[in-house]
Structure 1
Amino acid sequence: MNKQQLLFVIDSLDCAGAEKSLVTLLSLLNYSKYSVDLVLFAHGKVLEELVPKEVNIIKPLEYTRFANLKINDAIVYSFKNRNIKNLIARAKYSYRIRRGKYSNAQKARIFWESVANVFEENPKHYDVAISYAQGIPTFYVADKVIAKKKYAWVNVSYRLNRMDKEFQKRFYDQFDKIVAVSDSTKEIFLETFPEFLNRMEVIFDINNPDLILNMAQMGSNYEDEFKGIRILTIGRLAHQKGYDVALDACKKLKERGINFRWYALGKGPLQQELEKYIRENELTEHFILLGVKANPYPYIKNADIYVQTSRFEGFGLAIAEARMLNVPIVSTRFDAVYTQMIHEKNGLVVNMNGEEVSNAILTLITDNTLRSSIIQYLEKEKKGNIEEIQRFYQLIG
């Protein structure tokens, strides 16, 4: 029997929600039926080691390799090979991106407008091609891949301005289905693109409890021998994740004399700004940036409280992981939060400000009855959703 040829495309396999969801999906696929290629625009990230050996990670694309060269090396390479198209594209993008502050959608548009003409087309013909994130993966699958069916994943709740809506519409027009990772993500996407209603599907980010429970027993976790309350947040150090709210809540907890440490797993563009705030507000012993860990699960398992201060999420995979490890949760009220959270059952859901977040954390610290009730509920509630793989199989035929 000929195997079905699948292509997945994602920005990278850094340690984040969509990336972990893809790795989990790949770990569940039946490789007797599917031959799988994977395109990445950044290589060498922490989750690549978890990709099943059956998956063919395609070597870095020519422009990806060129963009990683130091600028002097890029100039020498271009003239030595008598090909300056890549150099012109790189310079064009660099010039445009430095002219202002842009959203992720705007950055993706500027990148593709600048470099699309130098990206080589994928030479293979696929049965199914999947962009597993919005932005550049979606543009690439639409423009550079030949496939019988094309599916676009939307895994973040985001709204577009008129220019980005018009730009992205011509790419989504080329997809057979558009897959949202939650009902709220679908609703928000349709606010921008109501014309795609009949092409929309919902397939939740897949999380496998057995994998997470096993990984929670492996590797290192907190090494500071702290004996107080451990609070954990996981997420890119970016505006979306609401670290300003977390730091304000941290400051208020310190002022109340609580014996705690708040740890954050992630990296991102706000790191220096957050470090400055931590220093200036004397929070160095209370809010600790741990960077990225390939295996965050021992940290989740050994936390007393998990806190998510996001402004928006497509699904909230880290919340699902904390639930699977029976850690009480405090979350802000972002669009998709009630896909998972039941207030005062598996955690507390509050408004997006430091006062309410700190009050909720304090409640979980001081109200032993409520805390015990939440943990008991977490221990009994359904774990994971690997049955979503069946919906994936139905989608691709």
Structure 2
Amino acid sequence: MKKNILFVMPSLSAGGGEKSLVNLLSQIDYDSYNVDLFLFHKAGLFINSIPKEVNILELPANYRKFKQEVHESIRLFLKAGQFNLACFRLMFTLINRVIKNSTKAEQTAWKYVSPSFDNLEKEYDVAVGYLEKSSIYFVVDKVNSKKKIGWIHTNYSNSGMDYHYDNPFFKQLDYIVTVSEECANSLRETFMHLKDNVRVIYNIVSPRIIKSLSNIEINYDIINRKNHINIITIARLSHEKGIDIAIDACKLLIEKGHKVNWCVLGEGNEREQLEGLIERSGLTNNFKLLGTKENPYPYIRNADIYIQPSRYEGKSIAIDEAKILHMPIIVTNFKTAKDQINNGENGLIVDLNPQAIVAGVEKLSQDISFKEKIINNLSKEKLGTEEEINKLYEIL
């Protein structure tokens, strides 16, 4: 008898959590499991990568109204006599305008968006909120399931999330899954009464697929400019990813006489701010925001150095992918950096400032024997994590 599993996710936009879900779904044994997927927004870069066996659920009518622009949403609710939902839609908008911290805003706003969702009729054996905040709240409040799992893709201590808001939801979960030992320690320290429920399942990556996709042709002139240090970063354009620090590092490299071509793959709410910083720094020809790419691997393979300048991370899928492609890597010293990089052996861990990043770039660019040692060590690592799916089966 097949088990029925539900995964809940806001969307399949370009992010580490979203890519992690697609990779996980590609590994599931569909002879043993029926899988439904509930998305708050049926869109995103990875929507076409979902396996055909996965059933994507339809959105409820009231939530479709709720998603409309605020004036249209309120008009539709008032026309239907749904005055409470009209008020909730207004409150949802006000909260997102007043609370500048997007994490706290999403938490606070849940009680207003929640009434627009119906409880799902189907009963599941397991329901998984695959991203922190709303996905988990939905599983707790709206799903009838024998077992409930929340998946945290970041270091909770640095996430800005409100413990007091999450605690009542987390207490109703059978398991809290996270992506690294450092992230697990953070959860156990924060939710000591739930520490026995915390499990680690690493993000699933497939070297075979990544290496194959990396050979697809692109316009190599974008990423591989002759006589330049060609750098690649994959990250959301948001504060925690440190792209502003990368821009400052690029400026310092140019001032020191280096020719630099630094490309960033990703989108986010800081694009306009970062574009302004690039222009003010005189780096329009050296630092490029290329947007999201469904296949980032040719860009990684054709660069010289991969840099992750983050202020904090959970466990970066992009770093694992760069390792699979044997790319010399520089990461900043966020808490979970040592989960993926052994400093001086398979990459460099540097302090979180532009000067330290510059020193790392110069080390990898000028010390050829050191760079070759890094590449050689990466070539010997076992980097596939497909077997992590077995840890999920154990708790299912």
Paired residue type of 1:338: K
1:357 maps to what in 2? 357
Q: How does 1:109-258 map to 2 (within 5 A)?
A: 109-159=107-157, 164-218=162-216, 220-224=218-222, 226-227=225-226, 228-258=228-258
Aligned-pair identity (%): 38
Give the match for residue 323 of structure 1. Answer: 323
1:113 is displaced (CA, Å) by 2.2
Unaligned ranges ≥5, structure 1: none
CA distance in 1: counterparts of 2:149 and 2:219, whole angstroms: 38
Q: Per-residue displacement from partner, 1:186-209 (whole Å, max 9, x unpaired)?
A: 111122211111111111111111
Aligned-CA RMSD value? 1.7
The structural deviation recorded for 1:87 is 2.5
**Counterpart residue type for residue 209 of structure 1:** P
What is the rounded CA distance, in whole Å, between the counterparts of 2:274 and 2:138 in structure 1?
Answer: 34
Q: What secondary structure, in the 3-state scheme, does the structure 2 residue paired with 1:159 have?
A: helix
Deviation at 1:79, TM superposition (A): 3.2
Equivalenced residue count is 394
Distance 1:163 1:270 in 2: 20
User: Post-superposition, which runs of at least 4 consecutive aligned residues in structure 1 deviate over 6 A?
Assistant: 160-163
Q: Deviations over 1:310-332 (max 9, x none)?
A: 11111111100000011110000
C-alpha change, 1:355 and 1:24, in structure 2 (3 Å) is same
Residue type of the partner of 1:44? A
Q: Unaligned 5+ residue runs, structure 2?
A: none
Pick closer, same or farther for the CA change 1:232–1:61 going to 2, 3 Å.
Answer: farther
Q: Give the Cα–Cα distance (whole angstroms) in 1 for the partners of residues 287 and 83 of structure 2.
A: 47
Cα offset, 1:148, TM superposition: 0.6
Equivalent position of 1:336 in the other structure:
336
What's the offset of the Cα at 1:163? 9.1
- Superposition deviation, residue 221 in structure 1: 5.0
CA contact (8 A) 1:157 1:184 kept: yes
User: What does 1:23-38 align with in structure 2 at a 5 Å threshold?
Assistant: 23-38=22-37
Which residue pairs with 1:262 in the alignment?
A: 262
1:101 CA drift (Å): 1.4
CA distance 1:28–1:245, shift in 2 (3 Å): same
SS in 2 for 1:98: helix
Tell me the residue number matched to 2:67: 68
How far did 1:64 drift? 4.0
Match of 1:43 in 2: 42
C-alpha displacement of 1:15: 1.4
CA distance in 2, matches of 1:160, 1:85: 35
TM-superposed deviation, 1:66: 1.9
- Give, in whole Å, the separation in 1 of the partners of 2:159 and 2:27: 37
What is the alpha-carbon distance in structure 2 between the residues aligned to residue 271 and residue 88 of structure 1? 32
Aligned to 1:379: 379
In structure 2, relative to structure 1, the CA distance for the partners of 1:60 and 1:297 (3 Å cut) is farther
Tell me, in whole angstroms, the C-alpha distance in 1 between the residues paired with 2:274 and 2:192. 38
Distance in 1, Cα, partners of 2:105 & 2:196: 28
Instruction: Kindly state the Cα deviation for residue 170 of structure 1 after the two structures are TM-superposed.
Output: 0.6
Cα deviation, 1:282-323, whole Å, max 9, x if unaligned, reads 010111000111111111111110000111111111100000
Is the Cα–Cα contact under 8 Å of residues 74 and 90 in structure 2 kept in the other structure?
no
State the one-letter code of the partner of 2:185.
E
Q: Deviations over 1:210-253 (max 9, x none)?
A: 12112212353544362122101111111110112111111111
What SS does structure 1 have at the residue aligned with 2:307? strand
In the alignment, is the contact (CA less than 8 A) between 2:66 and 2:116 conserved in 1? Answer: no
Distance between the aligned counterparts of 1:185 and 1:28, measured in 2?
23
The 5 A counterparts of 1:67-86 are 67-86=66-85
Deviations 1:40-83 (A, max 9, x none): 11222010111100001112343442233234432442233232
CA distance in 2, matches of 1:317, 1:149: 27
- State the alpha-carbon separation in 2 of the partners of residues 202 and 218 from structure 1: 33
Q: Tell me how far 1:381 sits from its aligned partner.
A: 1.1
Contact 1:232 1:264 in 2 (8 A): yes
Contact 2:132-2:152 at 8 Å conserved across structures: yes
Tell me if structure 2 keeps the 8 A contact 1:125–1:146. Answer: yes
User: Could you tell me how far apart the structure 1 residues matched to 2:146 and 2:394 are?
Assistant: 16
